[in-house]
Amino acid sequence: MAHNLNFNELTGKYSFFSVKQTAWHALGQIVQEYPTSREAIAHAGLDYEVIKAPLFAKGTEPAIDFAVPDQYATMRTDTNAVFGVVGKDYQIVQNADAFAFFDAIVGGGDGILYETAGAIGQGERIFITAKLPGYIRVGNGDDVTEKYIFLTTSHDGSGSITAAFTPIRIVCQNTLNGAMRSAQNVVRIRHTANAKQRLEDAHRVMGLADTLSVQLEGIFNQWSKVRIEDEQVKRLIQLALCPNSETLALLKKGADDELSSVFKNACDAAFGYAMASDTQQMETTKGTVFGAYNAVTGYYQNVRNFKSDEDKLKSIYLGGTAQARAQKAFDLCADFTKGGAAALFMN
């Protein structure tokens, strides 16, 4: 799997840090203690400033340079790497401002722990994961899910600032990022003149985390007590991974021989994970709806191959395919719990 971590030739280091656990091809800095936000910025190589520089074009007759009105290049000041072109209203959110968002949540206290952070490409996109206090406990307490906030922002004008509540099941590192149909676990903030203020106000993600973690604990515990047969797990996986209406129509009429080999291979791999993974043999997961949900999230987190770590990050955390499939699996599990096996054949 390829990576796209920023390599800073000035320092000779990759722009990434992780606490204790190696990741991203064992690149970057591995530290043993949870850092402060200032230390995390330094460990991850994010201690650079981004500016908006005037954009110039070269004329032909006469051959002079002239400023392009209301257009600017974003660039980092240490390496002079140019990230993108933005308009006059684009507000730069410095890397330190992103960490200030986390610090503001707990008033600079000890409640939040910075676990990973890094920069992608030339430094045009950064990401941070921070662990929140407390856990989501399923069953007798051995099946534990930790609570995280994931934040990413770009400096090239390509997207909004995104902060999301992201629970991760410890035993297999599954990102359980499905959300209740009536709730949102993501806050998106535009790079406008008010972006910094809105980033500071985005501590409402903490409120979402508190609310969703309580609700998810109740739901996951309920699912861990609802039995589901292997064939029903296979059906649920097919519906969750279904890529389009044509495939859904084939599933409904039982035309499995007409399904694409790519889709069938993906379903087989997810079902294999559901049946064989050690983390699927626990009391909370073996033959349960909670296990069926983990089969889908675990497939994307631990089985499926992505072209790069960046693609995996986008798919799982940034509204990509894996996140959408996890949400579909969540909805199917909720329907099954309420309506039984019939719910799987009504989709």
Same domain, 265 and 211: no
State percent of the chain over pLDDT 90.
45
Residue 326 within any structural domain of the chain: yes
Closest CA to 333 of 223, 192, 218: 223
Per-residue pLDDT band at 284 (split at 50, 70, 90): very high
Average of per-residue pLDDT across 10-18: 92
Same domain, 42 and 178: yes
Same domain, 199 and 318: no
Q: How far apart are CA 35 and CA 131, in angstroms?
A: 12
pTM of the entire structure?
Answer: 0.83
> Amino acid letter at 185?
N
Same domain, 197 and 234: no
Residue 297 within any structural domain of the chain: yes
The Cβ-side half-sphere exposure at 319, using a 13 Å CA radius, reads: 13
Q: Count of domains in the chain?
A: 2
Asked if residue 52 has pLDDT above 90, the reply is: yes
Same domain, 210 and 242: no
Residue 58 within any structural domain of the chain: no
Residue 64 within any structural domain of the chain: no
Per-residue pLDDT band at 343 (split at 50, 70, 90): low
Same domain, 105 and 200: yes
Average of per-residue pLDDT across 225-250: 93
Same domain, 113 and 257: no
Residue 115 within any structural domain of the chain: yes
Q: What is the pLDDT of residues 104-126, one digit of tens each?
A: 765 555 578 899 999 999 999 99
Q: Residue 39's pLDDT is what?
A: 93
Same domain, 16 and 158: yes
Tokens linked to 93: 């959110």
Residue 317 within any structural domain of the chain: yes
Q: How far apart are CA 205 and CA 195, in angstroms?
A: 16
Same domain, 42 and 181: yes
- Rounded to 10 degrees, the C-alpha dihedral 125/126/132/137 comes to 60
Q: Residue 345's pLDDT is what?
A: 63
Q: Residue 231's pLDDT is what?
A: 94
Final residue belonging to a domain, choices 175, 198, 220: 220
Final residue belonging to a domain, choices 190, 220, 250: 220
Same domain, 238 and 308: yes
Same domain, 20 and 167: yes
Q: Residue 241's pLDDT is what?
A: 93
Final residue belonging to a domain, choices 220, 246, 265: 220
Per-residue pLDDT band at 79 (split at 50, 70, 90): very high
Q: Residue 1's pLDDT is what?
A: 46
Same domain, 28 and 123: yes
Asked if residue 50 has pLDDT above 90, the reply is: yes
Contact of 83 with 123, CB cutoff 8 Å: yes
Q: What is the pLDDT of residues 130-183, one digit of tens each?
A: 888 889 999 987 899 999 888 888 999 887 888 888 888 887 777 777 666 656
Residue 61 within any structural domain of the chain: no
Contact of 81 with 108, CB cutoff 8 Å: no
Residue 283, domain extent: 224-345
Mean pLDDT taken over the chain: 86
Residue 55 within any structural domain of the chain: no
Asked if residue 315 has pLDDT above 50, the reply is: yes
Q: What is the DSSP string of 85-142?
A: EEETTPPP--HHHHHHHHHHHTTT-SS-EEEEEEEETTTTEEEEEEEEEEEEEETTTT
